A and B are shown apart, each in its own frame.
Chain A
Amino acid sequence: MAVYKRRYNSYTGSLTPTWSRFFVLTRFAFADLFKSRFFVLLLILCIIPCLFSAGFIFVANNKTLQLLMQLRPDMDFFQIESQYFIIMLTVQTQAAFLLNCWVGPVLISGDLTNGALPLFLSRPFSRADYVLGKLAVLGLLLSAVTWIPCLLLFSLQAGLARDGWIWSHLWMVVPIMLCSAIWILMLSLISLAVSAWVKLRIVATGIIFVTFFIPAGLGEMFNAIMGTYWGGLLNFSSLFRQILIRSFRAESIMGAFTRGNDIPIVMAWTMLVLVCIFALFVLNVRLRAREVVRG
């Protein structure tokens, strides 16, 4: 089909591996995202707390600087322990939530608005590939503001601290990654599910907020009326915080954050996994090449 010949020729060149094609969606989505100045600004804002945090680690490990700043080096404030990473992850997961609210709602709706989905699915490309491609967009993006900077901060601290700090704190890598993973997965799947149903970004963003805040409020009401704590199962942010604190074995230090929420940790995990499964179910219903009207 050379332009100068203006005739049709079939393609006989090489093909990319089938397993890697989902990444085409991710690549194109990123290219679109980075065209938006607002998105770039939001991304920078989400990373700024990590820069301050890096500065804090530097100060915490530099006695001379502390003296120059007239700070007492023996203050608890400068201890980089699990509490520090819990706060960091809490801040960064909230930043991830905001980023997700901006990026997530347009990922699938743009394809569904004008019926482009059959074009994807008429190729050697499954619905799972499609979801994986879109999930990778949010997965990579939210990773860039959660566990990746946290691990970098961990490495920075390990490099600056002495007395084998890294070996006594290496276990923290697991909760940093595990807690980030469940939060990223839940946020991504919820926003993809919303994006598959709602075309307008502003409405979709609103629904994502509602998904997190309305059930939490209802749960609190349920707790207040029934005198129980099971209503906390509807407060996803609180469940995540609980998982975070218990994974870092910091119940004694940071118990105040989860006071009144005695839901067993297994139930907290189960609830977040169920939310993910429900979002996948919604995606499965919505992402069809052809809609079938019953009756």
Chain B
Amino acid sequence: MPLTISGPGVSKLTIIDNETCDFAGGLLLITDSTNVNVSGLTINSCFAVDMFNGSANFTNMVFNGPAYSIAFWMGGGNLTISQCTFAGFEAAIADFTLGGTIYISQSTFTGGDSALLNFGGKMNVVNSTISGVGGRAIDSEEGGTLTLVNSTVANNAEGIYAIGDVVKLKNTVLSNNRNCTGDITPLDRWRLQHRYRRELPPRRDWGYE
């Protein structure tokens, strides 16, 4: 059954989830093959959305997260993000779908440790900005596809890190990312999983197991 939540505006309604990030689940859990539309509010939470199925549209929203937080944990489904701001997350959007699709437009990612993690999915970023991220702005691995069009990736600790992926950039600014050639090791990946305190979806090949 479709679900629609229309808030009054990002400055007028804020949902605050005070659970610690060690134990928190997603504020919104999407497991059915349904359609979810959410707009016009602010969410302060360790894990705003866990998505495993269906399709979801989030428009005109603000997501704020503390350390060790992920706004969108994607285990499946198709996600559309438009006119949203993400600030302070360990990873704003983490896609482990191995085939799901994420479309991001007119959105800004800032602060935190990483903006986008794309492990095997299809991630399309248009008219968006990633700036002021303390780690990798984008980490794309596991044979996924990453496209950026008319976007700005600037002033981050690291820019785009991709291994084993198809990466396409068009009309996109990459500027002042202090290290654009970072490496990744099995230890890094283990640390990633450990820090999020989450069980990742079944993987075809983790490489380090």
A pairs with B? no
Q: Which residues of A contact B (CB under 8 A)?
A: none
